[in-house]
Each structure stands twice: as C-alpha cells, then as structure tokens.
C-alpha cells in the first residue's frame, strides 16, 4: 500500500509547488506498470519518466492502452504490477481523491446540476479552501478561460467550446501538480480545435504545469507536445520529440501510424561508405543513408515521406549529384489530390510501384502543376530515406 500521500498535503493547501521533486528527478516516474482486464493485457509493462513542466502526449490507436494508463495515473484503475511515483512517492494504490492530480475528461463530465461557478469551485470546496479564497480563485479561473458573464449558466446552456473551457478551468482550479487530459478536443470542430490547441499550449507554458494528454490524433500530439509516447498493444513503442518521431520512426508500424509515408520493401545489397544500396522490387535500387542504429542484412524497408519527394518534368540538372547520390524514379501521374496548401500526386513508377509526392502550391497560378498521365521524374536524396527493419 501507499505510504504517506502527497495528496493529503496538497488538498489542504492546493497552491501546489510544495511537493516539487528534487532537482534532476522526474516529477512522475512510471515503473513497469501493467494492467490486465480478464485475459486482456491492456497495459503491458510501461516505464516512463515525465519531467516537471513538460507537455507530454500519449498517442495511439483506440484500444492501445493509453486511456487505461491515464486512468491509472488518475487513480480510477489500480495497476496490477509496477509503481507510479509522483515526486518520489508511490501513489499507485492511492484513491483518486487523495492524489494531487486532476483530469479533464473526454466528454468533460461537467456536473449538470451545478452552475459554471459551482463546477469550478467543486474541487476547491473539497479542499476546504476559505470562501473568500474560493471566490477569488473561481474568478481567476473564469478569466483564464475567458468565460466571464457565464458563471451562473448550467452546463447544458453552454456551447461545446464553452463546456470544454469549464472543464479545463475546473481541472486547473486546484492547481494540480499534474494535469491529465483525456482526448480534450475530440468533441470540437476543426477550426475551434486548432484555436484551442494553441490556447492550451500557451496556458501550459504560462502556468508552468505538467500536462499529459491522451489522443489518437497524431497531428494534435505533434502540434502540442514536447514529447510523444506512441503506444501499441499496451506497450510504449517509441518515446521521442515530435520531430524525431516523424523523421526517425523506430519501426515500420510507427512510420505508417504517424503521418503519410511511402514504403518500399527490399534487401540490403551493398554498403558504400555511409551509403547503403537497397534493392527493392517496386522502385529498383535505392541509395539511402546508413541508419544510426545498425540494421540487419535481411529484409528491410525504405521509407520516404511524401513531402521529401520532389517532382520534375525532367531529371535534376546536377549531373554530378545525380551520378553519386540522388535517387531518381521515372513514372506517370496516376492520381491528383488538391488540398489547398499542397497537392498530393500519386506516381505510377515505371518499375511497378506507387509513390506519393506532396508538393507545396507555392504559386497561385498552376504553372508548376502536373496533369494526369503526365510523365514525371520523382527524386529524393539518401538522407530523406529512413531504413526500417521489415
């Protein structure tokens, strides 16, 4: 069982900060945590450190265990194995109301019988905060999420976006050491979602709080988080910064899950300094940069992001570069998908495979657009390729 809980202290004085961990120690340490429902292992030995002030995203498809992991942090599920250390203390078995952690629920879970003000004040009253302080804090929170004038409304008299703000204000009111956000923006429409993402990031930076967000939307995770943990079948598949995750995915699955990608299966043929030549049936021999982590000689896959692929009517002019490095592939345009800022072309390669290229529409007039069945040359450098174990 848990020893003395940090929650007791924080409940009495929710100003936070008093239980901050020693320098260098992570705020939250998850150690070998596992949870089984019946025979289904929802979370399977996850270990993870989260620093104070970090914006961390748990990303994964539905059923990958990300929500279960979040619920264990909030205390709604007790882990079967492992420890959850908050500021050095194990809270794995502590009840939800004993933890200095608050959560913003997916469908907000606002109390329908309470006004906006009482929803926000709920946690403060439970902490036995003096009345005057509660009023001040509620006013502060209402201003923070820009809900002035709506304090007396009931949740069902609010729009979706307003409800989302109330939920955020309610979760932040106690100034938790750690804020958990369970798909906080899933119910909002695209435009509102993008605005809210920016506001959440701004808020997190301003308050210096630690946020853990659960999402299945990789764009959302990439936009907001400092680091992303990708989960698959109850395990953490990769923990990395958004850029690293996108540019250096550790596995074929992650490469396909995060963003669009072209994949060509093949076999390593020869090594030439820091270059590797990989023979693929669909795209011929591809010259790629040698990956940082050594890959075996067996089956490999070459991955190229669509926006790294350049298209031109003829091959690149730099003959020397072409000789030594650049991969050029001939083909015809098989499909065009105009997306406004970019256009995605599907190129049917002469070697048989399909290649997606995403081209920025940098001019308003379609001077550089390609038409269907037009012959093009697709090219990319060895450094644009990622080599993955197949």
Of 81, 122, 244, 334, which lies in the binding site for other proteins, with binding defined by CB under 8 A?
A: 122
Residue 51 Cβ, how far from other proteins at the closest point, in Å?
23
- Given a contact cutoff of 8 angstroms between Cβ atoms, the answer to whether 328 and 377 are in contact is yes
Of residues 74 and 377, the one with the C-beta less far from other proteins: 74
Question: Taking contact as CB under 8 A, which single stretch among the options 108-116, 185-193, 242-250, 341-349 is the one that binds other proteins?
Answer: 108-116
Provide the 8-state DSSP code for 57: E
Of residues 73 and 263, the one with the C-beta less far from other proteins: 73
Which DSSP string corresponds to 168-193? Answer: HHHHHTT--SEEEEESTTTTS-HHHH
Of 109, 139, 295, 377, which lies in the binding site for other proteins, with binding defined by CB under 8 A?
A: 109
Of residues 158 and 254, the one with the C-beta less far from other proteins: 158
Of residues 170 and 305, the one with the C-beta less far from other proteins: 170
Residue 110 Cβ, how far from other proteins at the closest point, in Å?
8
Question: Taking contact as CB under 8 A, which single stretch among the options 68-76, 201-209, 253-261, 281-289 is the one that binds other proteins?
Answer: 68-76
Of 2, 19, 127, 187, which lies in the binding site for other proteins, with binding defined by CB under 8 A?
A: 127
Which sign does the torsion angle of CA 175, 178, 182, 184 carry?
positive
Cα separation, 373 vs 376, whole angstroms: 9
Of residues 177 and 327, the one with the C-beta less far from other proteins: 177
Residue 267 Cβ, how far from other proteins at the closest point, in Å?
51
Looking up tokens 């395990």, which residue turns up?
235
Buried b / exposed e over 115-143, threshold 16 CB at 10 Å, is bbbbbbbbbbeebebeeeebeebbeebbe
Of 60, 75, 234, 242, which lies in the binding site for other proteins, with binding defined by CB under 8 A?
A: 75
Angle at CA 270, nearest 5°, toward 247 and 257?
Answer: 25
The answer to the question of residue 97 lying near other proteins (CB under 8 A) is: yes
Cα separation, 56 vs 53, whole angstroms: 9
Phi/psi for 12 (5° steps) reads -75, -35
Question: Taking contact as CB under 8 A, which single stretch among the options 29-37, 72-80, 240-248, 280-288 is the one that binds other proteins?
Answer: 72-80
> Given the DSSP bridges, would you call strands 210-215 and 178-182 parallel, antiparallel or unpaired?
parallel
Angle at CA 156, nearest 5°, toward 150 and 162?
Answer: 50
Of residues 16 and 279, the one with the C-beta less far from other proteins: 16
Of 66, 163, 165, 170, which lies in the binding site for other proteins, with binding defined by CB under 8 A?
A: 170
Question: Taking contact as CB under 8 A, which single stretch among the options 15-23, 90-98, 272-280, 382-390 is the one that binds other proteins?
Answer: 90-98
Cα separation, 178 vs 50, whole angstroms: 10
Question: Taking contact as CB under 8 A, which single stretch among the options 47-55, 151-159, 195-203, 208-216 is the one that binds other proteins?
Answer: 151-159
Residue 93 Cβ, how far from other proteins at the closest point, in Å?
15
Q: What is the dihedral of CA 317, 318, 322, 328, to 10 degrees?
A: -30
- Given a contact cutoff of 8 angstroms between Cβ atoms, the answer to whether 166 and 145 are in contact is yes
Burial class (CB in 10 A: 0-12, 13-18, 19+), 264: buried
Of 105, 235, 265, 330, which lies in the binding site for other proteins, with binding defined by CB under 8 A?
A: 105
Residue 4 Cβ, how far from other proteins at the closest point, in Å?
17
Residue 291 tokens read as 């990956």
Of residues 93 and 106, the one with the C-beta less far from other proteins: 106
Interface ranges with other proteins (CB under 8 A): 11, 74-76, 95-97, 101-103, 105-107, 109-113, 122-123, 126-127, 154, 156-157, 170, 174
């Amino acid at each position: 069982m848990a020893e003395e809980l940090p929650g007791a202290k924080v409940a009495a004085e929710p100003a936070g900060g008093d239980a901050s961990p020693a320098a260098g120690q992570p705020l939250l340490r998850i150690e070998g945590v596992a949870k089984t429902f019946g025979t289904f292992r929802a979370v399977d030995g996850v270990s993870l450190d989260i620093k104070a002030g970090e914006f961390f995203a748990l990303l994964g498809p539905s059923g990958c265990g990300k929500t279960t992991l979040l619920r264990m942090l909030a205390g709604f599920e007790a882990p079967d194995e492992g420890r959850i250390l908050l500021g050095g203390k194990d809270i794995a078995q502590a009840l939800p109301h004993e933890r200095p952690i608050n959560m913003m629920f997916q469908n907000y879970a606002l109390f329908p019988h309470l006004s906006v003000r009482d929803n926000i004040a709920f946690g403060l009253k439970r902490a036995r905060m003096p009345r005057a302080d509660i009023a001040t804090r509620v006013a502060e929170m209402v201003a923070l999420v820009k809900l002035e004038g709506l304090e007396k409304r009931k949740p069902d008299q609010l729009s979706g976006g307003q409800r989302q703000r109330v939920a955020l204000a309610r979760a932040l009111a106690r100034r938790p050491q750690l804020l958990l956000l369970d798909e906080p923006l899933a119910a909002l429409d695209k435009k509102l979602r993008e605005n809210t993402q920016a506001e959440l990031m701004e808020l997190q930076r301003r308050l210096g709080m630690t946020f853990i967000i659960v999402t299945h939307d990789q764009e959302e995770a990439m936009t907001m988080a400092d680091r992303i943990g990708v989960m698959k079948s109850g395990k953490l598949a990769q923990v990395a910064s958004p850029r690293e995750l996108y540019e250096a995915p550790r596995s074929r699955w992650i490469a396909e899950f995060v963003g669009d990608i072209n994949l060509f299966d093949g076999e390593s043929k020869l090594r030439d300094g820091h270059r590797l030549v990989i023979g693929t049936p669909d795209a011929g021999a591809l010259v790629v940069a040698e990956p940082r982590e050594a890959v075996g000689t067996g089956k490999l896959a070459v991955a190229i992001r669509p926006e790294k692929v350049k298209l031109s009517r003829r091959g690149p002019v730099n003959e020397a570069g072409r000789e030594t490095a650049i991969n050029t592939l001939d083909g015809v345009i098989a499909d065009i998908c105009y997306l406004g800022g970019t256009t995605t072309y599907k190129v049917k390669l002469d070697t048989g495979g399909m290649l997606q290229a995403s081209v920025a529409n940098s001019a308003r007039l379609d001077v550089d657009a390609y038409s269907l069945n037009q012959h093009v040359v697709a090219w990319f450098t060895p450094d644009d390729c990622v080599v993955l174990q197949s």
